[in-house]
Amino acid sequence: MNSALAIAFFLSAAPQPALNASPTPQQTIAAPASDPKIQKAVDAMQKFYEETVRFEAEFEQTYSYTTFSRQTVSSGRVRFLKSGASMRWDYAKPTEKSFVVAAERFFVYDKEAKQILVAQMESDRVSASLSFLWGQGKLDKEFFIRPSTRDDLKDGIALELTPKIKDPRFEKVYFLINPKDYSVKETLVIDPDGSENHVRFKNVRTNGDFGREAFLLEPPEDVQVVRFDEMPTK
């Protein structure tokens, strides 16, 4: 799985962020021509998440490693809550793991390893590729957006997002938008080495009744907690 993708995603962000600070901008990328139809779709997608208080769905994640020429497939459940900018990814297969963003901290719980990693997550450093889910970040401020030409993103509005400032965490992000409600059906993140992190969502619900308690971890007592958020700064 992609540990460098931070939560740039969503999605896929895909969930498994690095435990360090945001990257330093290195190179500005030339802007492609704007497309009014694409801007309309992006605005409608942003509106959907601005008006969504709770979101939950089942997901399947396929990670294709360029270096090793192999794939791993994972599945589970994702939830996010606008209040407190909270997000949780619970992996059921192939192993049980949880990735939680809450209270400006990032938690990784590995059930098999009996370990929890805790890191600080400063809200002002979160990319728009994540914060737009809570109705905050604006994608078109950080990315050039145009129609996707990939043939594996079908049955929706496929968008290609290229960061305006070259980002060492990923090369591109793709969204497949549901044309009925403008929610995101699929995300695809391309790593610098060409590896691909593809997440598909199903059974999307926005009327759940969960609150902040859903983002609390309650592991067994024998779990080791490793805290990066309390490490002294130089």
List the structure tokens of 126: 């979160």
The rounded distance, in Å, linking the Cα atoms of 74 and 91 is 7
* Beta-carbon count within 10 A of 42 CB: 23
Q: What is the pLDDT of residue 37?
A: 84
Q: Which of 141, 116, 117 is nearest to 128 (CA)?
A: 141
Q: What is the pLDDT of residue 215?
A: 92
Q: Which of 169, 176, 178, 229 is nearest to 204 (CA)?
A: 178
Helix runs in the chain, H state only: 36-50, 128-131, 139-142
Segments in the chain below pLDDT 50: 1-26, 29-33
Q: What is the pLDDT of residue 8?
A: 37
Contacts for 221 with CB less than 8 Å, ≥ 6 apart: none
Q: What is the pLDDT of residue 16?
A: 39
Q: Where are the domains of the chain?
A: 38-227
Q: Quote the distance between the C-alpha of residue 153 and its chain's center.
A: 18
Read off the pLDDT of residues 168-196 as tens digits, 9 standing for 90 and up. Answer: 778 899 999 999 999 999 999 898 889 99
Q: What is the pLDDT of residue 122?
A: 62
Q: What is the pLDDT of residue 119?
A: 86
Class of domain 38-227: mainly beta
